[in-house]
């Protein structure tokens, strides 16, 4: 074996060792940042669609509230007009009643021998007085009914205003969550260009957390617990159904009472109603 052959053999051995190290490094990369970035982007799209739906509901509630206020103003104007008419009718009825009382008092001094004509006149006056009292009673009942309707409409208006406030708060929460998700996507863009071997340890909750999955879209899921219960971004929750292990939920975005994340270590397809916990220990 000459010198040139020995040099070629040594070169081939060194090249094989370098290639083996490169292939082993590529085969043992623990994280696919591109796949995680795609999941984050999908979660962002899902939350953005939910936020747009909340905006549409908010706009519809505002329109309904304005229409209701306009209707209440019209009904109030009509009720005030009817009330003024009833007050005027009551004044006229009081005048009629006073006139009838005066005539009855005058007829009481009429001699008994006035005969049948006086008796008929008295009967007619009593009938007119009864009709006046009946008209006044109906007017009072009508006024009470109008006041009840006005109170019912005012209560409905308050309920709509409360629903509008709740919807606006929920829409704002969704917008905040989208903002945090955008920030997270930016971090992933930077992280994607860094070394694939770098990993971040998940923070541990101070107390045991339990909750329920409220919505699922493929490997994306949202739960009904948030920062108010001590949940933080990056935490991993155990997802289970009965005595079956479903997978882990990696929390990415956290709201006050709702959070969202990605299902990892999946064993079963996640479903709405699955339970989550930070620890299986009692």
Tell me how far CA of residue 12 lies from CA of 25, 69, 125, 165, in angstroms: 20, 87, 132, 73
- CATH annotation of 36-191: 1.10.287
Q: Looking at residues 130-156, what average pLDDT do you find? A: 83
pLDDT at residue 119 greater than cutoff 80: no
DSSP at 201: P
Paired tokens of 49: 């669609």
Instruction: Enumerate the domain spans of the chain.
Output: 36-191, 210-277
- CATH annotation of 210-277: 2.40.10.340
Tokens 């009718």 locate to 89
Q: How many residues does the chain have?
A: 282
Q: Looking at residues 160-171, what average pLDDT do you find? A: 81
pLDDT at residue 194 greater than cutoff 70: no
User: Are 274 and 241 contacting, i.e. CB atoms less than 8 angstroms apart?
Assistant: yes
Residue 201 — φ and ψ, nearest 5°? -75, 140
Q: What's the pLDDT score for residue 15?
A: 85
Instruction: For residue 216, give the nearest of 269, 255, 179 by alpha carbon.
Output: 269
Strands 210-217, 275-277: pairing kind: antiparallel
- Judge whether 36-191 and 210-277 match in fold: no
100-111 confidence digits (pLDDT tens) = 777 766 665 555
Confidence category of residue 237, pLDDT binned at 50, 70, 90? very high
Tell me how far CA of residue 239 lies from CA of 55, 208, 230, 265, in angstroms: 31, 14, 18, 10
User: Are 238 and 209 contacting, i.e. CB atoms less than 8 angstroms apart?
Assistant: no
Q: What's the pLDDT score for residue 197?
A: 47
> H or E stretch including 90?
helix 33-108
Give the list of residues 6+ apart from residue 3 with CB closer than 8 angstroms, or none: none
The verdict on pTM exceeding 0.85 is: no
Q: What's the pLDDT score for residue 38?
A: 77
């Amino acid at each position: 074996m000459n010198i040139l052959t020995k040099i070629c053999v040594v070169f081939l051995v060194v090249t094989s060792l370098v290639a083996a190290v490169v292939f082993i490094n590529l085969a043992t990369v623990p994280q696919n940042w591109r796949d995680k970035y795609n999941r984050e982007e999908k979660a962002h799209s899902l939350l953005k669609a939910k936020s747009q739906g909340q905006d549409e509901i908010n706009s519809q509630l505002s329109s309904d509230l304005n229409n209701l206020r306009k209707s209440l103003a019209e009904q109030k104007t009509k009720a005030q007009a009817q009330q003024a008419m009833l007050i005027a009718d009551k004044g006229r009825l009081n005048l009629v009643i006073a006139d009838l009382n005066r005539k009855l008092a005058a007829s009481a001094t009429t001699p008994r021998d006035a005969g049948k004509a006086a008796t008929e006149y008295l009967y007619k006056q009593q009938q007119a007085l009864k009709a006046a009292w009946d008209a006044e009673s109906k007017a009072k009942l009508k006024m009470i009914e109008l006041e009840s309707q006005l109170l019912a409409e005012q209560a409905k208006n308050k309920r709509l205003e409360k629903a509008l406030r709740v919807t606006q708060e929920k829409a704002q929460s969704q917008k905040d969550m989208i903002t945090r998700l955008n920030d997270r996507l930016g971090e992933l863009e930077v992280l994607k260009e860094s070394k694939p071997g770098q990993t971040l340890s998940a923070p541990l909750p101070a107390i045991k957390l339990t909750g329920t999955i409220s919505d699922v879209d493929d490997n994306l899921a949202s739960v009904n617990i948030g920062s108010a219960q001590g949940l933080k971004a990056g935490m991993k929750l155990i997802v289970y159904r009965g005595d079956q292990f479903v997978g882990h939920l990696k929390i990415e975005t956290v709201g006050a009472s709702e959070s969202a994340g990605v299902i990892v270590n999946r064993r079963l397809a996640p479903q709405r109603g699955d339970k989550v916990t930070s620890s299986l220990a009692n």
